[in-house]
Structure 1
Amino acid sequence: MTLLRASVLMIVMVLGCMQASAADGWSTFKSRFLTSEGRIQDTGNKNISHTEGQGYGMLLAVANNDRESFANLWNWTQKHLKNPQNGLFYWKYVPDATDPVADKNSASDGDVLIAWALLQAGQKWQNNAWLQASDAIQRAIVAKEVITYAGHTVMLPGDRGFNKTSYVVLNPSYFLFPAWRDFAARSHLKVWTNLIDSGMDLLPKMRFGDAALPTDWVALNADGSVAPGIGWPPRFSYDAIRVPLYLYWYDAQSLQLVPFQHFWTGFARDKTPAWIDVSNGNKAPYNMAGGLLAVRDLTLNQTGYLSDQLTEDQDYYSASLQLLAWLAYKSQ
């Protein structure tokens, strides 16, 4: 009996280790970036919080079947970031400031991520309140952040400041195709499929320079032409890296991935520059690592490199990209 008990105990310990390993990415993320009150800290940016981080955290909580953390994240987000005037969310929270939400603007990707996570959570756990909250945010996004411009249906990066009349500023990394698809399935509103169609039409026009890649910020002119956004470096960089991530998440076989694949295959994996200036070809003096590398591997279908195991030196954004790339891969 002693030998039998020892054998059973060993099996239980092995299974426990296997389960801990499987959940390690999310567990590590929580321990490193999620406060007890439900706030995701951007450790690469003075520990501020923003709707992007809250949305990523909520999505990852749903994917990891962590209802308690999801509820904690959503409750904090509602309490501290909800804008009662328009149904959207203040995009940034500075914890040590006199007014932590001094900037009252929204960030549309954060709004979409929160609504998407609520939709997934409501469906997964049969919670009608979360479904209704998602529906309300979706309506606010359409009312305040989506416009028709130059023949395209586009989502502005925020509620204010991006419509310059003669042109609008877009952030292609806010083209959240898989979320828009799920919103369309939920609401049956054509605006979401219009956003997808316009986004797919616009991306080929954003293949700037010899690299043929989009920049982090883009101007869409009234005549329908596009150019790198004024006031930002003309780089395919830390924002635009999410374009292929969301494209893959939407359709792993999308031909829209080809320009990114073509660019990255020009470099050895461990020699891939973190960013490139599309106007002159100058490259980052350092190479991709962590989450950036995970998006590259996902895009090139080099999925053997993908993992949810985070390294000790990863900050919030790198860790988020890596876990999102893993989630996109597992969702196919």
Structure 2
Amino acid sequence: MRKPACAALAVMMSLCFSPFSQAGQAWESYKARFLMPDGRIVDTGNGNVSHTEGQGFAMLMAVASDDKAAFDKLWQWTDTTLKNKENGLFYWRYNPVEPDPITDKNDATDGDTMIAWALLKADARWHDPRYSAASDAITKALISHTVIRYAGQRVMLPGANGFNLNSEVILNPSYFIFPAWQAFADRTHLQVWRELIKDGQTLLGKMGSGTANLPTDWVSLAAGGKLTPAKAWPPRMSYDAIRIPLYLHWYNPQSPQLTPWRSWFGQFSREKTPAWVNVTTNEYAPYMMEGGLLAVRDLTMGQAMSEPEITAKDDYYSASLKMLVWVSGR
């Protein structure tokens, strides 16, 4: 009787822990490709710069992989190198080859949000209140410097400076990280986070443009409430906006806001889905989705997620999307 019980227990244990070991393989590959010894993540598709987005992504991955050593290295470099002591947020971009690696002193709220969210998760996993205290300081700074009420909506600007133009504000809907906002709401019980979730979903429901009926990477919200593609960027659903369905699904796999994405993706076979669409001209990218873009498509379409394989073909962003899709399901 003892042997079958032990065997059954072994099978159960393998089922319980296999996702962690699988994620560990992908995470080890990711670290080997993109994590520098000093704790910074390099964007191999963008001249090996680093930015808060990548630091936050990797911090989330490290928590999910139970890799405290990597997490602490990532957080220490981020906090030491990118922290803006004047406002409590983080300089968004670091270029190691420039005399001043931080020429732009602005933040990017998706990076700030990801870092704060990862810190909350780190405390939950490793029971170190210093992590959540640091998270609280960041979320407080986000509210103080980037969250406003505009055109009757509560919005988080893409950065503390340069996006409120009085007659309009510029939004990046891929910065609406609903599962993180929910985590902040649960922790702080502040109404502002629930308002951001509610109003963010309302705005997303009105952002669809063109035949594709999808949001563009950057969106203008006019004082009167009108939403249009922001003029300073190509009117495309592209490499920023692809994160919108990822975060929607992460927050609520049954979100009605996923419907336009499923309709768009469903027009094409998996391998023939264009990488972007110009919502003004209805022009498609001359190349198809692959790598991390396809991973987001698969998640949105409800296809089973298997262990991500980080290949030599994946640049930083493609690999990051693959990993985030995997983490979102866990």
Structure 1 unmatched ranges of 5 or more: 1-10
Tell me if the contact between 2:207 and 2:228 (Cα under 8 Å) persists in the aligned partners.
yes
SS at match of 1:54: helix
Per the alignment, residue 62 of structure 2 pairs with 61
SS at match of 2:215: coil
**Structure 1 residue 329: Cα displacement:** 2.1
**Structure 1 residue 117: Cα displacement:** 0.4
**Structure 1 residue 165: Cα displacement:** 0.1
SS at match of 1:90: coil
Classify 1:166/1:22 alpha carbon distance in 2 versus 1 (closer, same or farther; 3 Å).
Answer: closer
Per the alignment, residue 7 of structure 1 pairs with none
Per the alignment, residue 4 of structure 2 pairs with none
Classify 1:129/1:20 alpha carbon distance in 2 versus 1 (closer, same or farther; 3 Å).
Answer: closer
Q: CA RMSD in A?
A: 1.3
2:305 pairs with 1:324: no
SS at match of 2:232: coil
For 2:302, give the aligned amino acid. Answer: N
**Structure 1 residue 124: Cα displacement:** 1.2
Aligned partners of 1:277, 1:164: CA distance in 2, in Å?
25
Matches within 5 A, 1:198-277: 198-277=199-278
For 1:89, give the aligned amino acid. Answer: F
Tell me if the contact between 2:56 and 2:118 (Cα under 8 Å) persists in the aligned partners.
yes
Residue by residue over 1:53-76, the C-alpha shift from the partner in whole angstroms, topping out at 9 and shown as x without a partner, is 000000000000000000000000
Aligned partners of 1:47, 1:66: CA distance in 2, in Å?
24
**Structure 1 residue 204: Cα displacement:** 1.2
SS at match of 1:207: coil
Classify 1:139/1:21 alpha carbon distance in 2 versus 1 (closer, same or farther; 3 Å).
Answer: closer
Tell me if the contact between 2:219 and 2:230 (Cα under 8 Å) persists in the aligned partners.
yes
Per the alignment, residue 105 of structure 2 pairs with 104
For 2:48, give the aligned amino acid. Answer: N
Per the alignment, residue 152 of structure 1 pairs with 153
Tell me if the contact between 2:23 and 2:307 (Cα under 8 Å) persists in the aligned partners.
no
Aligned partners of 2:44, 2:68: CA distance in 1, in Å?
24
For 1:228, give the aligned amino acid. Answer: P
- When normalised by structure 2's length, the TM-score is 0.93
For 1:182, give the aligned amino acid. Answer: A
Q: Which runs of 4+ in 1 moved over 4 A?
A: 18-22
Matches within 5 A, 1:19-34: 21-34=22-35
- When normalised by structure 1's length, the TM-score is 0.93
Aligned partners of 2:133, 2:264: CA distance in 1, in Å?
42
Aligned partners of 2:78, 2:40: CA distance in 1, in Å?
8
For 2:326, give the aligned amino acid. Answer: W
**Structure 1 residue 225: Cα displacement:** 0.9
Structure 2 unmatched ranges of 5 or more: 1-9
Residue by residue over 1:224-274, the C-alpha shift from the partner in whole angstroms, topping out at 9 and shown as x without a partner, is 110000110000000000000000000011111000000000001000000
Per the alignment, residue 51 of structure 1 pairs with 52
**What is the total number of aligned residue pairs between the two structures?**
314
SS at match of 2:40: coil
**Structure 1 residue 307: Cα displacement:** 3.0
